[in-house]
Amino acid sequence: MAAAAADFVQSKQVMSYALCKHLDRDPNSISSTLIKESDIASLFSHIVTNPQDEVKKWVEFSSNFASSDGEQHALLGNLNQHLSQMSVLLASGFIPSVADIVVFATVQVFMCHLSDSELQKYPNISRWMDYIQNVVDFGTSLQKINVTKSVFSPPPPSHPKKADKGDADPTSKKAVSGQKIADKSDGTADSKKVAGENKVPGDKAIPTFDKNDKPSGDKKKVSFQEKTPGKKTEAAAEKALQKSAEKDSECNVSILNIQVGVILKAWKHPSADSLLVEEIDLGGGNVRQVVSGLAKFFSPEELVNRRVVLITNVKPGKLRDVMSAGLVLCASNNDHTVVEPLIPPEGAKLGERISFAGFDGKPEDVLNPKKKQLDKVTPHLRTDENGIATFRGVPFTTSAGPCRSSVPNADVK
C-alpha cells in the first residue's frame, strides 16, 4: 500500500495529457515543471477554464483523495455508490467529461495496488474505470486496470425430449386394449361393473383382468388394436417435437450473424434529423453502409474510428431513401435517454463473429422480415449488472473476451 500512497506525479501527468487531448490542445504545451509543482486543483484550473460547478466538486474530490492519507477507501465507497446508477460522473449520458478524466487519473494509481478481493468491493468503479480507460486517450504511460470479467457458466439450452418408445408400460397398453375388446365383445353389466370398480375419482379407469379372464377376439385383432394407438401417439409426439424445435430455432440467437466492425466515416442523414449514416469496415475489404438512429446521442465525429458490434444478415433496405445493410447494436436505459453502441474488447478482430456458449447453430444467410425473427430474439438481449452484453444471460463473446457497455441492466437492440 506504500506504493499507492506515493505522490501523484504520474497521475497529474496522465491527467494533463488526457485533458489536453480532450480539449484539442497540445499536451506538450503543459511543462513538466508545472505538472510536478502544481497540486491537482491548480493544474486542472490551468488547463480547463471556467469549469461548471459540478465539475469543481469532482476536482475537489480528487484533491481530497490525493491528500487524505488513510481515508481513500471511504471516498471510494462514496464514488462507488454514485456510479451505481451512472455510466459516467456527470448526468450527460455516457460521454466522458473532464470530471471523469481528473477523477480517473487520481484514483487509478491507488486502485492499481488493490488486491482482487479489495477491487471486488467497488464493482461500479471497476466497470466505470474499464470503460473510461478504453475510450479516453491517456497516452502510453497509463497502466491500465485489469478488470476481472464476469465468468458465466450457462446451462445448456433446453430442448423437448423425444418420447422413448420403450418408456410406455406394455402391461398398461395391453390392459387398455384388452378392456376395449372386452367391452366390444361383452356388453354385460358385469363387465361394465368391473370397469367402474377400478375407477379412481378424478382419474381415468385402469382396467385389470383376472388370469382366467380372456377377452374375446383373435390375437391378430388384439395386436392391431395395440399397435394403432401407439403409432398415432408417436406421430403426435413427433409433430409436437417438430413444432417446438421450429419455435426454439426462431428464438435462437445463432440465427443472427453478429460481427465486430469499426466506423470509418459517419455523416448526417440527408432527410432525417434523428438518423446518422455510417460506413463500417468488417475487415477483408468488406465495407458496408448502415443507417442508425444515433443522431440524438452522438455527433458524426464522435463515431468515427469507434469499434462497434452489428448484425450483418438483416435484409438490406432503404431508410428514408438511404440504403442500409446492417444494424448497429446499442444498449439503452429504460427511458431511452442514454443510448450507446456495444463495445467489443480490444484485440477482437474486424469481421469476427460473436459467439454464445450453448448456441452453436449457423446464422441465416438473410433474415426473413415476414417471420419476424429479429423481433423474437432482441427481447432477450440485455446488459447485465456489470455492463456485459448477453442473450438470456449468456455473454456476447469474442476471441478477446465479452462485449460490454457502460450502461448496465439495459436493453440491447
Question: β-strand 327-328 against 381-383: which pairing, if any?
Answer: unpaired
Range scoring the smallest mean pLDDT among 57-61, 231-235, 278-282, 357-361: 231-235
Phi, psi dihedral angles at 178 (to 5 degrees): -65, -40
Task: Tell me the residue type at 284.
Answer: G
Buried b / exposed e across 281-306, counting CB within 10 Å, b at 16+? bbeeeeebebbbebbebbebeebeeb
pLDDT computed for residue 196 by the predictor: 45
Assess contact for 320 and 272: CB atoms under 8 A. Answer: yes
360: its cell numbers: 452453436
**DSSP conformational letter for 111:** H
Residues written for the chain: 413
What's the first-to-final CA gap in the chain, in angstroms?
43
Sign of the alpha-carbon dihedral angle for 110, 115, 120, 121: negative
DSSP structure class, residue 156: P
pLDDT single digits (tens) 311-320: 999 999 999 9
List, for residues 152-161, the tens digit of each pLDDT value: 455 555 555 4
The Cα–Cα gap between 185 and 84 comes to 77
Which of these ranges, 99-108, 214-223, 255-264, has the smallest mean pLDDT?
A: 214-223
Global pTM reads: 0.47
pLDDT tens digits along 170-196: 444 444 444 444 444 444 444 444 444
At 263 the three-state DSSP class reads strand
User: Which residue stretches of 198-303 are H helix?
Assistant: 219-250, 300-303
Average pLDDT, the chain: 79
pLDDT band at 52 (very low <50, low <70, confident <90, very high): confident
Interatomic CA distance for residues 206 and 178, integer angstroms? 11
DSSP state of 94: T
